[in-house]
Amino acid sequence: MESIEKKERPPREELLSFKEYAEKYGCSYETTRRIVSDNDIPEFSEEHIFTIDRTRYLDEVAEEAINNIRNNKQNTTVVMHEKSQEYKKLEEEKNELYAENKRLQAEVTKHRDTIDSLKDKLLAFQQDPSLALDTTKYMLIEDHQKVEEELKEKDEEIKGLSSTITDLEGQIKKKDEDLDALKDVTLKNVELSKKNDETLKEIEKKREEIREVQEKADEIKRKLSDTEIERDKINLEKEKILADAEIQRKRAEQEYEEALKLGFFARRRKLKELQKRREEEQ
């Protein structure tokens, strides 16, 4: 049987003991020993690791193999930690966006209730314009001022909501950029190649959740725009009714004063005509 010729051992000065390797690269002796014992690869065979006086030494090939394994492990740990932190941050941001959208929905509902209340008051004006002819007019004016104050407050709330939506859009855009960056890091990591598909699916899932938040924000903006248009329309109709009522009141006062200047029978006849006309107008 032919004997297998072993590789000739390099000179001692070209070799590194486990202890010398640990001192050179700033790691422990135990780490070096465990990497060699846990990895059954050609670089750690007897052709590259030599025993001299019961001390094991590494040649350049074994030294480089240990470096590669240590660097890969460090990179994997860093990337996994960064990915874990990024996912945690994304989850927190998503929950904040959902909470903000819930608050915005409540604000829109409250604003819609105010519009409905204005519609009821407008309907009352339309059904009985003569309310402005007596002391009830002052109650209506007072109520009108109150409504104007409420509308002013709603204008401020709408501005705040619009600003919040703008902030949400900025956050969503930033999340898209962060997800793209995370995707690039994941694709470049060789040690995580088996988990790439799962990671990419998770990223797309987060992106879809953010798209849903964006759609809800757009819907809220549309609702706010509709309520503003509806409010302006109601204000115009209300102002017209109040103006018509004021004209009717002045005309009635003028006709009443003219009737008082007439004689008894003429005045009585004139008042009956005014009463009849008022009933017809109502």
Tens-digit pLDDT profile for residues 74-131: 766 655 666 666 767 777 877 887 788 788 788 778 877 877 877 777 777 667 666 5
Beta carbons of 172 and 214 less than 8 angstroms apart: yes
pLDDT at 3: 43
pLDDT at 161: 66
Q: Average pLDDT of 158-172?
A: 71
pLDDT at residue 159 greater than cutoff 80: no
d(CA 47, CA 58): 10
pLDDT at 197: 60
User: What band does 55 get if pLDDT is binned at 50, 70 and 90?
Assistant: very high
Question: Higher pLDDT residue, 5 or 80?
Answer: 80
Strand partners, 49: 58
pTM of the model: 0.32
pLDDT at 62: 94
Contacts of 7 by beta carbon, 8 Å cutoff, 6+ apart: 47
Q: Average pLDDT of 155-174?
A: 72
Element (H, E) at 167: helix 136-188
Residue range 181-203, pLDDT digits in tens: 666 655 555 455 456 566 666 77
Domain ranges of the chain: 12-58, 77-250
Strand partners, 259: none
User: What band does 270 get if pLDDT is binned at 50, 70 and 90?
Assistant: confident
User: What band does 36 get if pLDDT is binned at 50, 70 and 90?
Assistant: very high
- CA–chain centroid gap for 95, Å, is 9
pLDDT at residue 166 greater than cutoff 80: no
- Concatenated DSSP letters for 47-76? TTEEEETTEEEE-HHHHHHHHHHHHHHHHH
Mean pLDDT of the chain: 77
Residue range 208-255, pLDDT digits in tens: 888 888 888 888 888 888 888 888 888 888 888 888 888 878 887 787
pLDDT at 156: 78
> At CA 121, angle to CA 117 and CA 125, rounded to 5?
165
